[in-house]
Each structure stands twice: as C-alpha cells, then as structure tokens.
Structure 1
Amino acid sequence: MAVTDDTGIPATVHLTRLTERLKEDGLHARVRVASRRPPELIVVNPDAPALSEIVYTAPQEGTWWYWWSWHEKIGPVAEADVVARKIHHVLTPTGRSR
C-alpha cells in the first residue's frame, strides 16, 4: 500500500529518516512494509528488548505526523530529531539516564 504525503513523499521516506536518527541513539529500528497495510516503523531498545514500539505516519489537519501505535501524535515529520528524543525517552527503562 503506497502512502504519500501531500507533496508526494512516500511515508517510507519519513520513516526511514526517523530510523536513521533512532539508530544514532542506539535503538534498533526498521521500516516494515506489508501489503494492504500502511508502512510502519518497529523500534526496539536492544538493552531492554521488552521496550519496543510501532510508529507510523499519517496526516491530520494538513500536517503529517509521526504517531504512536495507540493513535497519539508524537510530533510532525519535519521534526524527526524531536520525535527521536521522545521515542528514546519512552523506550528507556526507569532509573537509567535518558
């Protein structure tokens, strides 16, 4: 299922950009594309594999956002660095430096 933003940029491009940023922070991340489903980003903390999340992109009110799997916005796709910090924070075990 090809999903593109209003400018024609595929969702996979936004997810790949975020993947690269998350890997810089030491998280494992990969884009999964399946037929009949929008692309999604699977993110895992390698130091605590139980801490994982699925992220996707979708528009709301004319802006494309990264979204948590529970349908809450993380941040706009234009702010991949900010979004990566939020994901890293959520996937860091309590008591460890974030």
Structure 2
Amino acid sequence: MIKPVYRVQCDGPGKEWLSLPDGYVPGTDLMAGVLIAAATAERAGNWPGEREAQRAAVGAGWRPAVGSDFRTWLCPACPACQGAGPTTSEEKTA
C-alpha cells in the first residue's frame, strides 16, 4: 500500500526544506527544535499528515506567511524570511 507523506518547504526566496539534522538515526526520538533548513529535499522530514507537518514546522520555529492558509511557510534560516514581520494581530501586540 502506498501512503502519502507531508513535507514542509519554505515559501520564501530560499525555498528550503524542513529537514533532519546530520547524524540523525532513523527510529530515534527527534525534537522539533533540532530540525534544520536544507537546500534540497534529500533529508526532508516525512510526516504522516498535514497536521503533524505543521506541528513540526511550528516547533522548529517556522511560521505561516502573512495572510496564508497554512500552506505557505517562512523559514527562520532565511534572512529574507526573518524580516517578513508578524503573522497575526496577536503577535503584533505581544
């Protein structure tokens, strides 16, 4: 049976992928904070659903673009994305 997996790619100019860090051993626990941005999808994380992919992205510091429907994400490693500003009114007032 073929099962879909979900990956996260930056919607900014870098188009980087939310990826597993070097040295990761498959089957071991992986905290979202250690996920990295990578230029290729070679080590991109595979999540079983869109919700899990979103949770991993948020945990790694990624965030939806301003006005997005959670299908576009900004990567914290990309300087252009870092300057994109807050995504919600709550963040503006925080």
Which structure has the highest helix share of the two? 1
| TM-score where L is the length of structure 1 | 0.32
Which structure has the highest strand share of the two? 1
Ranked by relative contact order (alpha carbons within 8 Å, sequence separation 6 or more), the top structure is 2
| TM-score where L is the length of structure 2 | 0.32
